[in-house]
Structure 1
Amino acid sequence: MTATAISMLGSRSRTLMPGIIVSAMVAAAASFLSEHYGAPVMLFALLLGMSINFLAVDGVCKAGIEFTAREILRVGVALLGMRITLEQIASLGWQPVVMVVVLVTVTILVSIGAARLMGFNSLFGLLTGGATAICGASAALALAAALPSHKEKEKATLFTVIGVSALSTMAMILYPMIAQAFGLSPLNAGIFLGGTIHDVAQVVGAGYGMSHETGDSATVVKLMRVAMLLPVILCAAMITRARGVEPGSKRPPLLPWFAVGFVILAAINSTGYVPEQIQEAGNSLSRWCLVIAISALGMKTQLKALATVGIKPILLMVGETAFLAGLVLLMLHWKP
């Protein structure tokens, strides 16, 4: 590496580090609050970030916050591949796999249709529907990274993360009661919880709160939904390419690098040669990257901008969540 390159790298690092450090500090504070008060860490990260949004307006932190919200987010999405192995998916048989593919596809298509009927852009329906159907805040952030840029994108992303985090927490409390009310077996209760609750952490909490068998099946079904992130990101990338780019901009790749990373890590993880400590480290790093990125997104957002969203987006996300729960219960009713 030449002296010029080293100098440029050092200059770039000095420009970015203040914003990255601030985002990491907000993420650490959010994690502390989440561990002590039980609320979703993403929600705390967003709220704390928004409380110091003046740092992203101008000054030394702005460039690093922009970098964190974009690139560290993508690293976190790629590392989600460490959560999945083909053996986990195969262990439940073909029926739950087909069920997950159907419920994710149908939920997203219905969400896009409902968004258009309510007067929203169809991409907003894809964003909220993908977050609801796949893996909550992580899916919202991954889809946002792949979808075309527009002036309302960040506000839509943050609203989706807040909404899906709140609904996931409510589901963690209510859905085990629903499973008991319908008299679901431990296996079917796990399929219901894993197929409906948005975030992985809440699925684990709700499943193992009922029984060990329910927790195991819920976790595996949830990981199947996480695996659906790849084809949905691919569709989002194809939409982005089809819509073109601004003059002077580079056309995005068909499959973003973070999606390629997701596939490679999932394939490596499926070999069975990855030590459990490495898997846990990858999952932990993914979580930290996503929390740091959402802290940066929070700092880029004005609270008054989110206050203008109105009631219709809230109704859309509540409707999507209720539709997904009803669809899974219906599929379990007709399951042989």
Structure 2
Amino acid sequence: MLSDTTPADPVPVQGPDARADGAPPPARLIDAMRARWPGLLLCAVIAMAASLISRLHGGPQLLYALLFGVSFHFLHADPRIGPGIELCTGHVLRLGVALLGARITLEQIVALGWSTALTVVACVLSTIVLGLALARRLGLSTAQGLLSGGATAICGASAALAISAVLPRNREQDRFTLLVVVTVTAFSTLAMLIYPLLAHALHLSAVQAGLFLGGSIHDVAQVVASGYLLGAEAGDTATVVKLFRVSMLTLVVVAASAAFRSGASPGTPCARPGLLQLVPWFLWLFMALVLVQSLHGVPPAVLPLLSEVSRDCLVLAIAALGVKTSFQTLLQTGWRPFVLLLAETLWLAAALLVTVLVGRSG
């Protein structure tokens, strides 16, 4: 395992940039890309392989990218690879999260109705609170509780990556983020198979089933797949409920950013952040896309492209996280994170199911 002073840290990036300080911007850009392209190309090859396997044989694309990335961990020691890996887990990741905003409109949120919206908000917030409380009981950090709770409550791997982008970065936190991505993806795949059967066994209506599936399954793709197994109405409801959960990502990331910036020492620049510093740039872009899409400003032909670019960026980021982490270091996180994520997943599903059943009996 690499130490914190190994050449794979961002030190090599400073070389070309430092030499190009007196050069014009195009020259600095060329030098920066020259330092980063080997790692970026590695992540791109891993992402393409994961996409191909997913399309040919089915299964979660993000999980394939993660496992393929871990198998190339030995390359992380190469100083030529490190800068590109950091680019993928930084700016590329944030761009992928921002482009998720093109899926959501204010009209979709309003169409849910107040009772459904409040139900989803209550379940999301209670899951995050449960994550924070259980993390403390299990001896994990507040950041880990927030990350696991937010990933479970909102949109799985995408939420985990977005929240981790504003949390303090260290090797332990990177390992925990990777474990969260693996676990919530596995749980989401199991839920896609089990929850529709449960909804059918309980004779839930299409709207009730859509609320249960869209409010409890982690990943968007699995929500869509499971919802439409029960019919078009259930699929439409599940998709809208899920996108409403995704829209809450902005509030959770801003809250995480504020909480951990406020923990800085009074002499640091982030002790009293302004609004522009508090809200990361990718969340401004996320909210701007939601607004533009709500005003029908995005051409319909462009929406599939934005969705594809967003997914590609997230796959690149997951591949880079995999390259940064080995199975040996991943196992060092122990059993407690798994128990934490399992408890959060079961709580979210039980809360949605009880709410639906109570509403039906009422």
Give me the TM-score of the superposition, normalised by structure 1. 0.96
Identity among equivalent positions (%) equals 45
Which residue does the alignment assign to 2:11?
none
Which residue does the alignment assign to 1:261?
285
CA distance in 2: counterparts of 1:259 and 1:6, whole angstroms: 27
Q: State the Cα deviation string for residues 296-317 of structure 1 (Å, max 9, x = none).
A: 1110112100112222211111
Q: Are 2:313 and 1:289 aligned?
A: yes
**Gap runs ≥5 in structure 1:** none
CA distance in 2: counterparts of 1:182 and 1:142, whole angstroms: 35
Choose which of 66, 78, 84 in structure 1 pairs with 2:86.
Answer: 66
**Gap runs ≥5 in structure 2:** 1-21
Structural mapping, 1:185-264, within 5 Å: 185-244=205-264, 253-264=277-288
CA distance in 1: counterparts of 2:169 and 2:260, whole angstroms: 9
* Change in 2 beyond 3 A, CA 1:273/1:5: closer
User: What SS does structure 2 have at the residue aligned with 1:119?
Assistant: coil
CA distance in 2: counterparts of 1:195 and 1:277, whole angstroms: 29
Question: 8 Å contact 2:262–2:270 — kept in the other structure?
Answer: no
CA RMSD of aligned residues (A): 1.7
Determine which structure has more spread, i.e. the larger CA radius of gyration. Answer: 2
CA distance in 2: counterparts of 1:324 and 1:248, whole angstroms: 38
Aligned structure 1 segments of 4 or more residues deviating by more than 4 angstroms = 245-252
C-alpha displacement at 1:58, in angstroms? 2.1
Which residue does the alignment assign to 2:4?
none
CA distance in 2: counterparts of 1:82 and 1:31, whole angstroms: 22
User: What SS does structure 1 have at the residue aligned with 2:24?
Assistant: helix
CA distance in 2: counterparts of 1:305 and 1:248, whole angstroms: 32
Residue 180 of structure 2 aligns to which amino acid in structure 1?
Answer: T
Instruction: Kindly tell me the number of residue pairs found equivalent between the two proteins.
Output: 335
CA distance in 1: counterparts of 2:337 and 2:266, whole angstroms: 28
Question: 8 Å contact 1:79–1:262 — kept in the other structure?
Answer: yes
Which residue does the alignment assign to 1:173?
193
Which residue does the alignment assign to 1:22?
42
Q: Are 2:295 and 1:275 aligned?
A: no
CA distance in 2: counterparts of 1:325 and 1:310, whole angstroms: 25
Q: Are 2:108 and 1:94 aligned?
A: no
Q: Are 2:64 and 1:56 aligned?
A: no
Q: Are 2:51 and 1:31 aligned?
A: yes
Q: Are 2:147 and 1:127 aligned?
A: yes
Q: State the Cα deviation string for residues 304-331 of structure 1 (Å, max 9, x = none).
A: 0011222221111111111100000111
C-alpha displacement at 1:38, in angstroms? 1.9
User: What SS does structure 2 have at the residue aligned with 1:60?
Assistant: coil
User: What SS does structure 2 have at the residue aligned with 1:310?
Assistant: coil
Which residue does the alignment assign to 1:322?
346
